[in-house]
Chains A and B, each alone.
Chain A
């Protein structure tokens, strides 16, 4: 498939690594940030004429995967690369068994459920308030993980 009219812009600027965390942790934090920044870009960019509606479902999905990377960053830092879940079920189990992550269970599950709707429902419907709520969920998870890791 040809991506019409697309050309690669200037290379991404990678933030300086936070010296307080492992380099592999930082990669997950960077991915989480990149995903988070993509969400408003999707909503605010001019819509191509052949795109009949805003890609709300991908905004929700991107925010969910930002949360996935935040959790991976935490697990990488605390328990090493072998602790990174290889499935959503493993990730739920890992989050569920760690008391320090209890406060993210609800926002994370909400994002997961909505991303399922976004990716698999034939016609998912998200209101503007849902998109804001998804963004707030992601930010809440980011605050908890940042505090636990000691990075801001």
Chain B
């Protein structure tokens, strides 16, 4: 069973979910705590490079709001990874819905 997220991680995950809620191409967020990091994976429908970079920039904006947490934000774009992007999310990560 995955460890319960700390309040900091919960706040980070909620902020990311809120930021991506209106982005239809975003399917969901997976997260886990690993040492000093809060790791997040955003799984998306197939999106082009500018679209992916736009989401990365948004993720960096959200990360910057958390000064006492180092956020390690990743995107699993179905265009690059194929039909099962969730399969590349590391073991132990927890799912958080976006909407």
Chain A hits for B26, CB < 8 A: none
Q: Which of A93, A120, A129 contacts B88 (CB 8 A)?
A: A120
The total of chain B residues at the interface (CB under 8 A) is 25
**Once bound together, how far apart are the Cα atoms of A114 and B79, in whole Å?**
11
Q: Is B11 an interface residue (CB 8 A)?
A: no
Which residues of chain A from 68 to 124 have a CB within 8 Å of any chain B CB?
A: 89-90, 92-93, 96-97, 105-106, 109-110, 112-114, 116-117, 120-124
29 CB contacts below 8 A, A to B, read: A89-B37, A89-B39, A89-B72, A90-B35, A93-B36, A93-B37, A93-B72, A96-B70, A96-B71, A113-B74, A113-B75, A113-B76, A113-B77, A116-B81, A116-B88, A117-B76, A117-B77, A117-B80, A117-B81, A117-B88, A121-B82, A121-B88, A122-B84, A124-B81, A125-B79, A125-B80, A125-B82, A126-B80, A130-B80
